[in-house]
Homo-oligomer: A and B are copies of this chain.
Amino acid sequence: MSWVAGVEGSGYGVHHLPYGVFRVGSGEPRIGVRVGDLVLDMAGAEEAGLVLAGGALRQPTLNAFLALGRPQWTASRQRITELLTDEAHRAAVEPLLVPLAEVRMELPFEVADYVDFYSSEHHASNVGSIFRPGQPPLLPNWKHLPIGYHGRAGTVVVSGTPVVRPHGQRPGPQGPVYGPSVRLDIEAEVGFVVGVSSPLGRRVAAADFADHVFGVVLVNDWSARDIQAWEYQPLGPFLGKSFATSVAAWITPLDALRHAFVPAPEQDPPVVDYLREEPHLGLDLRLTVYWNGEAVSEPPFAGMYWTPAQQLAHLTVNGASLRTGDLYASGTVSGPHRDQVGSFLELTWGGTEPVVVGGAKRTFLADGDTVTVTATAPGPDGSTIELGEVTGTVTPAN
């Protein structure tokens, strides 16, 4: 039990403790940990000697702290829990709690490389059916490896950043047409933040997942379907994605998700050795996608075919190094039902089956639309953890 009022049952209790970077007014960015509707100023806590992290908590981003590794992550977590639960620390800690309403959140870490996977069987099948009707929805490689590609790290933005409708080329009856995208979409995903690097030439085993990955952020990988459809052959998505990828302001530590690991779906055919994971575990995160405040879908992350540990093993099997701040996302999270999909492409079946939002028939995103993705996870003792939301509003093309 925390001595901080209103924290228990809030989704941001002492079993959660996600990390972010905040500013107050025109102040410098500072590392904070969210508890209820308050931010514990970790820079202040380290300055006061309440937490020791060799100065890593007094940085403008989380990268230095992420680089420290699991023993330090766990030690800091235990210490913060002490500070927030033991009345003896109240007098010292209370002045370091800042109301969430008074802060502006920044991108929590400097993104090194950004990789996007494609690991929901339902999503990949839906997209295959929509784009390649009459053909097998999954390509032959899909069940043998977690398909992925690199995205643009420099356009990863923090939740709340406006998303400017991108210009680009799209297919037209007389050749390509240039202009603002007319099929702007979302992709509700779960991202994994790498803390501990690995050297070039070394493979990281799936079993070493928790040594390298610090935690989880919700991701919206905004996608211009018309630009993507015209450009993506043969080298994959490029400008259809690179204009913006939003991430939550709060990174939920893996330590907070101990109760959320669940058996992942069985894999058939069996995977090759480096992708074998024992036990084979997914995460029971339950996402909700809100379109202008209206819940339109509830994608279940537990059903993902490829797990985050398998994705990490695959990402490095060729000897690719990891850097602190690497971000890899799951790919769009879609369940088997229409009200469980993570993109509007699927929700409206390629725009052919509009849905009613705010009383109007809708397919893709209009200027002014706001999309918010939230998620919950089981915590200890029947409690629920609420992941930091990722939200964004579409603004007109420049």
Contacts and interface: CB of A to CB of B under 8 A. Distances in A.
Contact of A317 (B154, B239, B272, B326): B239
Interface string A184-209: 00000000000000001111000000
Contacts of A115: 238
A327 to B, nearest CB: 12
Copies of this chain per assembly: 2
Given A176-B144, A273-B178, A154 B318 contact: no
A128 to B, nearest CB: 8
Contacts of A230: 141, 144-145
Contacts of A168: 317-318
Describe A's contact surface by its main secondary structure.
loop
Most buried by B among A141, A167, A168: A141
A149 B321 contact: no
Nearest to A114: B150
Nearest to A167: B317
B319 A243 contact: yes
A157 interface: yes
A268 B155 CA distance: 32
Given A150-B242, A230-B141, A233-B141, A318 B176 contact: no
A37 to B, nearest CB: 29
Contacts of A308: none
A101 interface: no
A312 B148 CA distance: 25
A83 interface: no
Interface residues of A, number: 61
Given A203-B167, A238-B148, A153 B153 contact: yes
A310 to B, nearest CB: 13
Given A149-B238, A200-B157, A224 B318 contact: yes
Contacts of A238: 115, 147-150
A170 to B, nearest CB: 11
A52 interface: no
A150 B151 contact: yes
Given A320-B243, A398-B202, A178 B272 contact: yes
A318 B237 contact: no
B234 A232 contact: yes
A326 B235 contact: no
A78 to B, nearest CB: 31
Given A141-B230, A272-B178, A112 B153 contact: yes
Interface of A: 112-113, 115, 118, 139, 141, 144-145, 147-155, 157, 164, 166-169, 175-176, 178, 200-203, 224, 227, 230-240, 242-244, 269, 272-274, 314-315, 317-323, 326, 398
15 contacts: A113-B154, A141-B233, A144-B175, A150-B150, A150-B238, A150-B242, A154-B321, A155-B320, A167-B317, A167-B318, A178-B272, A203-B398, A235-B236, A239-B317, A239-B318
